[in-house]
Structure 1
C-alpha cells in the first residue's frame, strides 16, 4: 500500500489563552527585576522651585509594578505593549532609572512578533526597538561620544533585538513551510481519493454496462425469431442492472458515511458501506469472485478460461481487490473491443508476488491502443499504488495481453 510521507511537526503554537496566562505570570518577576535595578535613591522629581519629591521605597515598588503591568497583555497585544515599553524606557531614562530591563522585554517581544505577525510588522517592530535604543543611549551624552556609546556594552541590547528577530523569522518560515506541506498533503489526499472513486466507478459501471449493452443488442436481434433467447437476455440484463445498482449504492454509502475507524477516506480503505438501512459492511471483491465474473462474461458471449498456479491463499485486501479489478477491466475490454471468442486469465501465486496475465484471441486493435481510455490508466494506477509492475499491448501472434505483478 502506498505510504504518504508526513511533514515534520512545526514548532508548537501556543493558544491565545496560554499566551495570556504566560505573559501575566511574568508580571511579578519582571516587576521584581525592574525594582532590583532601580538606583537608590532616584533622582529627585522637580515639582516647583525649591520643591522636590523624593520617592520612598513603597512608591518605588508601586512604580516597578506599574512599569511591569503592560507585560500582562503582551500575549494578545504585542505591538501596543511594545510601544508602552519604549515609552516607559524613555521615562525611566529621564529620571535616572536603568532602562535595560525594559529594552530586554522589548527584545523578547520582537521575537514574539516575528513568530506570530507578518514580516513587515516584525521588521517595523525591530526598527522601532533599535531606533528607541539609539535615542535613549545618545540622549544625554555629547555628540562626539555618541559612536562610543552605541558600540559600547549597551549595544548588547541591540544585538539581542536583532537575534530575536532572526530567530523568530526562522521559526515563522518553518511554520509556514509546515503549513504548506500540510495543505499540499491534504490536496494530494483529496486527489488520491478522487482517483480511487473514479477507478471504482469506472470498473464497476464499465463492466456491467458493457455486458448489458451486449445482451440488449443480442435480444434486439432475436426478439422476433427467438423469443426464448430474448427473454433469457432480458433476464441477464435485469440481474446485471440490479448488481450495478447495488454496487453503486455501496459506493455512494461509503462516500456519505464517515469511516467508523476514525481514519480518513484517503487511507486506502477499499470497503464500501451498504445503504443507510444496513448495519454491515460490504466485503470488497477479490480473486474468489472470479468464478462469478467468468459466468457473467460467458453469458455475454465470451468464454473465459481461468488458470490457477501456485499455492492459493488469502492475500491482503488491497491486493485481492486490485487483482480482481484488473481482471474485470481486461475482460470488459475483451467484451467491448476485441471481437474475441476466448479469453485466458492466468493467476500465479508466487512467494513474493502475485502474477496476473490476461490474453485474448481477438482482432479488434483499433480501439485498444496501449494507454488509451481510462481502463488501462486505471489498471496502471492500481498497480503503481502497490509498487508493482504493469504492461499491456497487442501480441505479435494476435490478440491483446495485459500483465501485472503485485507484491504480496
Structure 2
C-alpha cells in the first residue's frame, strides 16, 4: 500500500508537509478560530439545506461526525496540507455516498485544496479534487441503486456542468494565489541573496584594504626594526633614523586602518579622509625608501583624473607590488611606470631581483588581491619573472574619467 501511495505522488516528503507546507509562522500554529467558524457554518448550513431535501437521508450522528471531520482536518492545513486535502476529500466523498443532504460541506474541500496549492502541493490537491469528483460521478450515476437513499434515481448530467465550473473556479483561484505567493517568495530569496552578495563583496573589499595597508606598513616596520636592532650599538644615529621610520609607518597604518573601520562602523557615511590615489605615489616611494628600496617613478601620456575606485585600485596595486619587492626580492631598486592611454591606464612595476627565498611572513594573498581589484574594474593583472631576471607586475585598468558633480 505504501508503495502504491508513493507511486501516486503522495509519499514522503509530501505527507510530512515538505518545505512548502507553509510560510513563516503558519506551520507553528493551528488555525483554531477559522476551523471552528467553518464547523459552525457547515453544521448550521447543512441543517437548513436538509429541510429542502426530504428525499435525502436525515442527518444523524454519523452524518454530523462526517461534517465535523472536514473542519477538524483543516486544523492541519498548514502543517500537513497533503494529509488535510486527502482526508477532507475522503470525508466528503463518504458523506455524499451515504446519501446525506447536499450543502456547504463542499466549502471544506475548497479551503483544503486552496491551502494545499498555496503551500506548493499542487499534485496532491488535483488528485484529491479529481478523485472526489470521480467518486461523486460514480455515486450519482452508477452506484445510486446500491447506496442510500433507497429508491433514488440517476441524477441528470446537466448539474455536472455547475460542478465542473465550481471545481475549475477553486483550482484556478488557488493556482493564481499560489503563483503570487511563489513569486513573492522568489523575490524575497532574490533580495536576501543580493544582500548576502553585497555583504560578501563589502567584506572582501575591507579585507583587501586592510591587507594592503597592513602588509605594506608592516613590511617597512619589519625591515626598519631589523636595521635599528642591528645598528643600535654600532651606529645609534642610523638606528634612530630607522626607528623614526617605524614610527611614521605605524602612524600612517593606524590612520588608514582607522579610516577603514570608521566606514565599517558608520554605514553609508562619507569617509573622513579621501582615499589614497596615484597622486600619493611620491609618498609611497618615500616610505619604500625608508625600507631601503629606491623607487623610480615615471609617467607616460597626459595625466587625467580617475574615478575614485580606479584611483584607489591603481594605488593599492603599486603599493602591494612594492611591498612584495621589499619582502621577497634582493633588489634595492624598483621602477614604477604609469601610462595614460586613450582608454586604458597601465601600471608596470619592475625589480631586478634576485628573489631572496627568505620567509617574509606574508599571507600569499597579495597577487590574488591585486587581481581581484583589477577584475572588479574590468582590468587585468600579469605578474611573473622578467626575461633578464627580477620580477614584473603589469596592470591594465579602464581609464574612466572622474564623474563631475
Question: What is the TM-score of this pair, normalised by structure 2?
Answer: 0.65
Q: RMSD over aligned Cα, in angstroms?
A: 4.5
In structure 2, the residue matched to 1:285 is 276
Measure, in 1, the Cα distance between the counterparts of 2:78 and 2:263.
47
User: Partner of 2:285 in structure 1?
Assistant: 294
> Of the candidates 360, 364, 385, which is equivalent to residue 355 of structure 2?
364
Question: How much has 1:194 moved relative to structure 2?
Answer: 2.5
Q: Which of 377, 381, 394 does residue 390 from structure 1 map onto?
A: 381
Shift of 1:202: 1.1
**Maintained 8 Å contact 2:114/2:174:** yes
- Residues 101-159 of structure 1, C-alpha deviations (whole Å, 9 max, x = no match): x85895576345422x253xx55554444444445454444428999969953345445
Q: Quickly say closer, same or farther: Cα 1:96–1:235, change in 2 above 3 A.
A: closer
How far has the Cα of 1:85 moved from its partner? 11
Residue 181 to residue 319, structure 1, CA distance change in 2 (3 Å): same
- Aligned partners of 2:155, 2:218: CA distance in 1, in Å? 87
**Contact 1:114–1:172 (CA under 8 A) maintained in structure 2:** no
Alpha-carbon distance change, 346 to 108 in structure 1, aligned in 2, over 3 angstroms: farther
2:3 corresponding residue in structure 1: none
Aligned counterpart, 2:242: 233
Deviation at 1:172, TM superposition (A): 5.8
User: In the TM superposition, what are the counterparts of 1:177-196 in structure 2 within 5 Å?
Assistant: 177-196=186-205
Any idea what the Cα deviations from partners look like across 1:282-324, whole Å, max 9, x if unmatched? 2111111111111111122111111112222221110000000
Check 1:330–1:47 CA distance in 2 against 1; reply closer, same or farther (3 A cut): closer
- Structure 1 residue 312 corresponds to structure 2 residue 303: yes
Secondary structure in 2 matching 1:347: strand
Take 1:96 and 1:375, find their aligned partners in 2: how far apart are those partners?
Answer: 78
Name the count of aligned residue pairs. 326
Aligned positions of 1:152-301 closer than 5 A: 153=161, 154-158=163-167, 174=183, 177-260=186-269, 273=271, 281-301=272-292
Tell me how far 1:192 sits from its aligned partner. 2.1
Kindly indicate whether the alpha-carbon contact (under 8 Å) linking 1:214 and 1:300 is maintained by their aligned counterparts in 2.
yes
Q: Deviations over 1:311-368 (max 9, x none)?
A: 2222111000000000000111111111112211111122211111111122117579
Alignment match, 1:344:
335
TM-score, with structure 1 as normaliser: 0.65
1:228-251 C-alpha deviation (Å, 9 max, x unpaired): 111111111111111112222222
Distance 1:177 1:240 in 2: 50
What is the rounded CA distance, in whole Å, between the counterparts of 1:147 and 1:178 in structure 2? 49
Partner of 1:58: none
2:117 aligned residue = 114
Structure 1 residues 184-236: Cα deviation after superposition (integer angstroms, max 9, x where no partner): 43433333223212211110001001001111111122221211111111111
**Structure 1 residues 132 and 257: alpha-carbon distance in aligned structure 2, compared to 1, 3 A threshold:** same
Cα shift readout 1:154-180 (whole Å, capped 9, x = no counterpart): 345445555566666655655555555
Q: State the partner residue of 1:375.
A: 366
- Contact preservation (8 Å) 1:108, 1:164: no
Structure 2 CA distance for partners of 1:232 and 1:96, relative to 1, 3 Å? closer
Q: Find the aligned partners of 1:205 and 1:397 in 2 and give their Cα distance.
A: 31
| Map 1:82-93 → 2, pairs under 5 A | none
State whether residues 88 and 109 of structure 2, in contact with CA within 8 Å, keep that contact through their aligned partners in structure 1: no
Structure 2 distance, partners of 1:299, 1:200, is 22
On the 8 A contact 2:217/2:249 being kept in 1, the answer is yes
2:143 corresponds in structure 1 to: 143
Q: Find the aligned partners of 1:213 and 1:165 in 2 and give their Cα distance.
A: 70
The question of whether the paired residues in 1 share the 8 Å contact of 2:349 and 2:394 is answered with yes
Q: Secondary structure at the match of 1:282?
A: coil
